[in-house]
Amino acid sequence: MPIRFDNVTYAYPAEESDLVAVREVSLTIEDGSFVCICGENGSGKSTLAKLMNGLLQPTVGVVTVDGKTTATEEEKELFAIRQKVGMVFQNPDNQMVASIIEDEIAFGPENLGVPREEIGERITYALEAVGMSEHRKHTPYKLSGGQKQRIAIAAVLAMRPEVLVLDESTAMLDPRGRAEVLKVAEDLHRQGITVVLITHFMEEAARADRVVVMKDGRVVMDGAPEEIFRDREAIAKYDLELPVADALAASLVEAGLPLEDKIYGESALAEAICRSK
C-alpha cells in the first residue's frame, strides 16, 4: 500500500502570509520499505509525516494512501487512513492516556469498534512485538523513556497499521532507549510493516533502505544510505553528519591508513582495519 505524494505543497495559515512548510514534494513510500527522513530543524519533516496520514491535508497537490486521497470529507475514510498509517511522536509522556498499560493499548482498537476478545489478542500481539509483555498490568509512569516509546508503538500496532511513522521518537531517549526503539522498528520492518523513521541520528539512517533529505520544505536528496553518505558536500550543506564509524573511517584515511575512501558501517570498518595490517 504505497503512500504517494504528487506535487504536494503545504502552507500553515498565518495572519501575514502563509508559512509554506512543504514545497512541491513528489514521493512514493513503497510497501515494506524502511525509509528514513532527515534534515535540519524546520525543514518540514513533521509536516510531511502529518500529511502521510491525513492529520494535515495538502494545500496544493494530492496525497494518496492505498490509492485513496487523504483530502476526503468522509470521516470513515479518514479514519481508515489513520488506522493504516500509525504515528508515534517525540515525547512519550504526551502520548499516554491510561493508568494501566493494557488499557493504553486497548484504547485504539476500542475506538475502532473491535470486539472484546479480539482486543485481548491484539494487546498480546502488540506487547509481544515490542518486548513488553510482562508489563501488561503495570502502570506506564515508572517505565524508562525507551519503554514508554515501545508502549506508544504497541498502542499503534494494536490498530494493525500497515505503515508505522516514527517522528523523532528516539530524540528524547538515552542511547539504550534509542537502541531499544530502533530494534523494535527493525523487527517490525522484517515482519513486513512499512517503517518511516524521522531522525537526527545518522546511525539510524544508515540502517534504512532509503534516506530522504529535506531542506526548506523540499526533498533535496533521496537514495540509498551509502549514496547519501558518500556525498560529503551535501552532508555539510544539509546539516547532516556521517555515521560515527564512517566519520572515523574518513579520519583514518586522512591519517594515512590505506583504506578505501567509502562508506563502511561499524563491522565492515573493523574488518577493513584488520585486513589493512
User: Does the protein bind Mg ion through residue 194 (CB under 5 A)?
Assistant: no
User: Does the protein bind ligand ADP through residue 169 (CB under 6 A)?
Assistant: no
User: Does the protein bind ligand ADP through residue 41 (CB under 6 A)?
Assistant: yes
Please name the amino acid found at residue 78: L
Q: Where does residue 255 fall: left (phi above 0), alpha (psi -120 to 50 degrees), or beta otherwise? A: alpha
Task: Give the number of residues in contact with ligand ADP, rule: CB under 6 A.
Answer: 11
For the bound state, the minimum distance from the C-beta of residue 202 to ligand ADP, rounded and expressed in Å, comes to: 16
Query: What grid cell was written down for 3?
Result: 503512500
Chain centroid to CA 271? 30
Which does residue 41 bind out of ligand ADP, Mg ion, none, counting CB within 5 to 8 angstroms by kind? ligand ADP
User: Does the protein bind ligand ADP through residue 42 (CB under 6 A)?
Assistant: yes
Which does residue 53 bind out of ligand ADP, Mg ion, none, counting CB within 5 to 8 angstroms by kind? none
CA pair distance 245, 202, nearest whole angstrom: 10
Q: Which is nearer to ligand ADP, 21 or 154 (CB)?
A: 21
For the bound state, the minimum distance from the C-beta of residue 197 to Mg ion, rounded and expressed in Å, comes to: 12
User: Does the protein bind ligand ADP through residue 12 (CB under 6 A)?
Assistant: yes
x-marked contacts with Mg ion along 40-59 as a string, rule CB under 5 A: -----xx-------------
Query: Nearest-CA neighbor of 145 among 115, 169, 119, 177?
Result: 177
Question: Where does the chain have alpha helices with state H?
Answer: 45-52, 75-84, 101-112, 116-129, 145-157, 175-190, 202-206, 225-230, 232-237, 244-254, 266-275
User: Does the protein bind ligand ADP through residue 44 (CB under 6 A)?
Assistant: yes
Subset of residues 47 to 86 that bind ligand ADP, contact rule: CB under 6 A: 47
**What residues have CB less than 8 Å from 187, skipping those under 6 apart?**
129
Residues that bind ligand ADP (CB under 6 A): 12, 19, 21, 39, 41-47
